[in-house]
A and B are shown apart, each in its own frame.
Chain A
Amino acid sequence: MRLPDKTTTLEEAVAGIGDGAVVMVGGFGVPGTPFTLIRELVRQGPKNLTVIKNDANETGMGVDHLLASGQVARLITTHIGLNPRAIELMNAGKIEVEFNPQGILAERIRAGGAGLGGILTDIAEDTELARGKQRVEIDAKRFLVETALRADVALIHADRADTFGNLDYVATARNFNPLMAMAAPRVIAEAERVLALGELPPDDVHTPGPFVDHVVELGALTEEYAVVRR
């Protein structure tokens, strides 16, 4: 037996993402953002996307390219304070922005990835983020129903992958990546290093290969991955 090889080219990996697709994008700030996959998505140009990402990166980086190219209709996120363009587009009504509490966004994605319908929580109960949400009562306690989130495709940045798509992440580049890597029927991972089968020790795997569809090896990293000098 031999585990299948999922390595492919950047162009092939991203091909076929259609207009109106829901796209999850890993990363929290720079660490874990799949900048190369995002650039390719900009190049291929599908429109009217719903993007699910913790943040909107910063000007000239990552998700900002998708905003600049007008490909984003809707952003499901937690905080966009470092991207003035995202704020401007939101205020002008050119994109719709749905804010989630950060850990609730994580749990909604995890629920989606785990085949669940949603989660119950009291987070944000007294805030405007709870408006219009369904409530249920369990053991005399009221909870908000937060629906599960899935996407059509998830874009993931890994440190190491093997050819089957087992992934690991480093430091704070992990963040939303392993959650999103479970929450879409098509998962595309860019990896800084792609190893032969057997070279990524089973105990080191953060995302098991069966969740992953395409693996793209990054060459030399672009400037976007570097330390930001503010």
Chain B
Amino acid sequence: MSDARTRMVARAAREIEPGMVVNLGIGLPTKVINHLASDFPVCLHTENGLSGIGPTLPPDRADRNLIDAGGAYVSTVPGSAFFDSATSFALVRSGRLDLTMLGAFEVSQTGDLANWKIPGKFSPGAGGGIELAQKARRVAVLTTQTDRAGNPKLKAACDLPITARACVARVFTEMAVIDIAPAGFSLVELAEGVSAGEVAEATGAPLILPDGDIPTF
């Protein structure tokens, strides 16, 4: 991973508060776990029926019956619990999931999230993503500021089919931390060496700048 991405993931890890129940989505969000101290008090949840996810294991040490929702072989920690898929999503829908971190294709300035389908190109199904996005108490997105063609992923409105409406609270990119405020995208922090102007340039809708100094990460 590039330095910029590592810094972004490390910054996102600071979003997790002690005592939270957290679900980390597949891809970049999963890497957040690497930036949590081993004694940090947090409960990681995975949709396929585990609360209290422990470290990922290599194949030769893996338990064939113990994976996370992304198929990675994981482990338990003292206090872990296993449950069925209905119980797992009861936890999500009833408000017991404090925070989820998800990837994105697009985020709109009103917090709509599109991350499950690109018509004609990518349609594997949403898995548990809709419920995570719609019902976690707080939804944070980890994504690159632009797609591979350089188009902004943060847009006035999503063009792709949405996962959930008005769900995203905060976006972490390699360039900035951006909140979804009532008035739209609002710059919170800048990556070191990146200017507010550069972030605005790479954002597909107006970017509200804070008064005074902008903290860096």
A residues bordering B, Cβ < 8 Å?
A: 28-32, 54, 77-82, 87, 90-91, 97, 99, 101-107, 109-110, 121-124, 126-129, 159, 170-179, 225-230
Name the residue on B nearest A81 (C-beta). B124
B126 to A228, Cβ gap below 8 A?
Answer: no
Considering the chains assembled together, what is the distance between the CA atoms of A112 and B164 in angstroms?
27
A103-B128 contact given A29-B48, A87-B123, A126-B165, CB 8 Å threshold: yes
B83 to A102, Cβ gap below 8 A?
Answer: no
Say yes or no for B125: interface residue by CB 8 A criterion: yes
Main secondary structure of the interface of B (DSSP, over half): loop
A174-B49 contact given A78-B125, A81-B124, CB 8 Å threshold: yes
A102-B47 contact given A31-B66, A82-B71, A123-B131, CB 8 Å threshold: yes
> What are 14 contact pairs spanning A and B, CB under 8 A?
A31-B66, A31-B67, A78-B127, A79-B124, A79-B125, A103-B47, A103-B86, A123-B135, A126-B162, A129-B126, A171-B66, A175-B49, A175-B84, A229-B59
Nearest CB of chain A from residue B60's CB, rounded to whole Å: 8
Query: What count of chain B residues pass the 8 Å CB interface test?
Result: 42
Say yes or no for B17: interface residue by CB 8 A criterion: no
Considering the chains assembled together, what is the distance between the CA atoms of A173 and B63 in angstroms?
11
Say yes or no for B50: interface residue by CB 8 A criterion: yes
A172 to B48, Cβ gap below 8 A?
Answer: yes
Say yes or no for B41: interface residue by CB 8 A criterion: no
Considering the chains assembled together, what is the distance between the CA atoms of A227 and B74 in angstroms?
12
A225-B82 contact given A79-B124, A103-B92, A172-B48, CB 8 Å threshold: no
A103 to B82, Cβ gap below 8 A?
Answer: no
Known: A30-B64, A127-B162. 18 other contacts (CB 8 A): A29-B67, A30-B67, A79-B125, A80-B124, A80-B125, A82-B71, A102-B126, A103-B93, A107-B86, A124-B130, A128-B161, A170-B82, A171-B65, A171-B66, A172-B68, A174-B84, A176-B85, A227-B62
